Amino acid sequence: MSVVASNPKTKMQPRVLVVDDDHYTRTLIDRLIGKTAEVSLASDGAEARKLFAEVDFNLVLMDQRLPADNGIELLREFRARRPKLVGILMTGFADVRDAVAAVREGVFDYLTKPFEDLESLEAVIGKALELDSAYREIDGLRARLDAGDATVAVIGQSPAMERVLGQIRQVAGLDTTVLLEGESGTGKELAARMIHALSTRATKPFLEVNCGGLAETLLEGLLFGHEKGAFTGAGQANAGYFEKAHGGNLFLDEIADMSPKLQSNLLRVLQDHSFTRIGSTEPRKADFRLICATNRPLLAEVKAGRFREDLYYRIAVVSVTMPPLRERTGDIVPLATHFLDFYNAKFGKTCGPLTPAALQALESCRWKGNVRQLQHCIERAVALHTGGPIDTLHMLPGGEPSIRTEFAGATAATTALAYQDARGDFERDYFRRLLATAGGNVSEAARLSGIPRQNLYVRMKRWGIVTE
Ligand SMILES: Nc1ncnc2c1ncn2[C@@H]1O[C@H](COP(=O)(O)OP(=O)(O)OP(=O)(O)O)[C@@H](O)[C@H]1O
Ligand SMILES: [Mg+2]
């Protein structure tokens, strides 16, 4: 993994501080990432403090034992000044308990020295930088949100999402009908709100109605409005959404569920923006821009004879497809971090950060329910957790079956959390070495280690050591 590739937002190279009294370690890391990162080296606490005061580092790699300092305390000192500082602790085997405690209080990860596997060292550094860039993106968003920019809560830094956001920005200012397509939970409603917020109609109403959620007559009444006495119970006249959305945007969600009769009524309205309330013959005009959404591809509905072709071409003047989350895995960490912040604030908690294993599990999940499912997953983890880092296990209880199945391979549910925490990285290294010793044979590895085969298998799968 290239360090820069994992940090696509930053045109500048990420700035990394390496604090270690051991010349060999400093040089090794410098050589490993020096081409893709701007590395500063410090051999003791005093040097590190001086550099930290001058440079806004994206990542600090800290040795645990320094000549006059304790690395954990120094990281704590740095994090007191920059709470979202991403730090990695480097430690000898003997100090693992302290390292685990450090991870509990928010250090991203700990690595045991000497480094045997440079590839995984680089991967951990890449992940840490990814987290830093997610933090920075979210802080930037929050600043803009505080400044009153309502459009920025849409997170997406993957190329697929950048493209879609570009399309949205482009069409928002045009007064044309927009069709938003995409699987459930991909953010269609959010996109509709973003279009509204960026449009010239932003100060006028944004009205939404779910066409799948209402019976035909209710939906008709809601859209067209009615006159007094138009039907039993119509005690007074009521303006419909066409009228109420005047000057603004009208969002018709789940448009594919609209009945054939209403489809043809809507088509007529769209032709000249005129309509009559139910129980009236007086034509009325309303100036609204229509945004529609569907999670079933609408053209397929047309082909199947369930949706009017002429209406389709009216509403699909511009169509934007929200990509499923599994096709933009680069958005998972920023989204998860965003939701973590959100639910911490909502529940008054201080859970987090997400451990590397948790991030890895989140990134490998297929997310059939897309962003909504990810959001629920983090909400549940924060709701059930008392505080501190969130590991894979915290996202399991009560999880939706699909997530549970996917995470099942990522963790042995019978394993106690403390054990999970304590093993972390060197469990991965141990399994890797074990499998190599066993000549790649999992049964043999199980025999050698004394761990039941199935148990060993799921753990190896979790670390990506075996793939199927
Ligand atoms: N890019 C994003 N950034 C932040 N939050 C997002 C993003 N995309 C979706 N969400 C959040 O995920 C949840 C689901 O999004 P939304 O309701 O817009 O999906 P949808 O495509 O309309 O789904 P459905 O088809 O099921 O109605 C919402 O809470 C939304 O705020
Ligand atoms: Mg929706």
Residue range 306-348, pLDDT digits in tens: 999 999 999 998 999 999 999 999 999 999 999 998 899 888 8
Nearest CA to ligand 1 atom 10: 187
Q: Which ligand is nearest to the CA of 189?
A: 1
Q: How many angstroms separate the CA atoms of 373 and 185, rounded?
A: 7
List pLDDT tens digits, range 140-161: 766 665 554 544 468 888 999 9
How do strand 15-19 and strand 59-63 relate by DSSP bridges? parallel
| Residues of the chain predicted below pLDDT 70 | 1-11, 93-95, 141-153, 396-426, 428-429, 467-468
Q: How open is the CA angle 307-313-314, to the nearest 5 degrees?
A: 100
Per-residue model confidence (pLDDT) at position 5? 36
Domains, the chain, ordered by start: 15-143 (3.40.50.2300), 159-325 (3.40.50.300), 329-462 (1.10.8.60)
Q: Is this model's pTM higher than 0.85 or not? A: no
With a Cβ cut-off of 6 Å, ligand 1 is lined by 153-156, 182, 184-190, 295, 335, 371-372, 375
Nearest atom in ligand 1 to 371's CA: 12
How do strand 289-294 and strand 178-181 relate by DSSP bridges? parallel
Nearest CA to ligand 1 atom 13: 372
Token pair of 90 as six digits: 């480097």
Supply the angle between the helices 216-224 and 260-272 in degrees, to the nearest 10. 10
Token pair of 337 as six digits: 């971090």
Per-residue model confidence (pLDDT) at position 414? 30
Q: Which of 180, 190, 195, 254 most suits a substitution to test ligand 1, by most atoms within 8 Å of the C-beta?
A: 190
Per-residue model confidence (pLDDT) at position 398? 40
Kindly give the distance from the C-alpha atom of residue 190 to the centroid of ligand 2, in angstroms, as a whole number: 8
Per-residue model confidence (pLDDT) at position 237? 86
Per-residue model confidence (pLDDT) at position 334? 92
Q: Which of 137, 151, 189, 376 most suits a substitution to test ligand 1, by most atoms within 8 Å of the C-beta?
A: 189
The answer to whether the beta carbons of residues 156 and 331 sit under 8 Å apart is yes
